[in-house]
Amino acid sequence: MGVFKYEAEYTSVVAPARLFKAFVLDADNLIPKIAPQAVKSAEILEGDGGVGTIKKITFGEGSTYSYVKHRIDAIDSENFVYSYSVIEGAPDSIEKICYETKLVASGSGTVIKSTSEYHVKGDVEIKEEHVKAGKEKASHLFKVIEAYLLEHHEAYN
């Protein structure tokens, strides 16, 4: 099994605490509401929403995959760090994908640091265009959430 690690950074004008509340703590409610084309629904299959919880995320029409199951590995609300692993729904060649997102204060906004680790079966290699497509989707979702927060100043304060 091989592990391929990719990193990305995005910036936002929204403060880390507010972005964390929207993007992590209330994502299951917010994202299907403001981006149903990306995420149709999120449901807890096991757990209470904390570490160890297993969720099923159902994607919108036209997505590459219909759903994924992910397990929450860490939630650090004080340092704005969130980690989870996709444990089902990825291509057969991938055992799991581990994600970590850190929100770091920068001026009056945030630097969003994202790390992805693809744990592949055998000697499979991850294609750069697959990673690039994933980064573009993540960036788009951050921008949708950011736009929502900028329009709704009272939300997630």
Asked if residue 65 belongs to a domain, the reply is no
Asked if residue 100 belongs to a domain, the reply is yes
Alpha-carbon distance of 128 to 133, in angstroms, equals 9
Asked if residue 129 belongs to a domain, the reply is yes
pLDDT digits (tens, 9 = 90+) for 70-109: 999 999 999 999 999 999 988 778 889 999 999 999 998 9
**Which structure tokens are listed for 46?**
């096991």
Domain count, the chain: 1
Q: Give, in degrees to the nearest 5, the angle at Cα 19 between 108 and 128.
A: 100
Asked if residue 96 belongs to a domain, the reply is yes
Asked if residue 50 belongs to a domain, the reply is no
Residue pair 8/138 in contact (Cβ under 8 Å)? The answer is yes
Alpha-carbon distance of 26 to 140, in angstroms, equals 18
Other Cβ atoms within 10 Å of 59 Cβ, number: 18
Asked if residue 131 belongs to a domain, the reply is yes
CATH number reported for the structural domain that contains residue 126 in this entry: 3.30.530.20
For residue 30, what are the domain limits?
2-36+76-151
Q: What is the CA radius of gyration of the chain?
A: 15
Average pLDDT over residues 39-61: 94
pLDDT digits (tens, 9 = 90+) for 123-137: 877 777 777 777 788
Alpha-carbon distance of 55 to 143, in angstroms, equals 23
Asked if residue 145 belongs to a domain, the reply is yes
Asked if residue 94 belongs to a domain, the reply is yes
Q: Check residue 1 and give its pLDDT.
A: 66
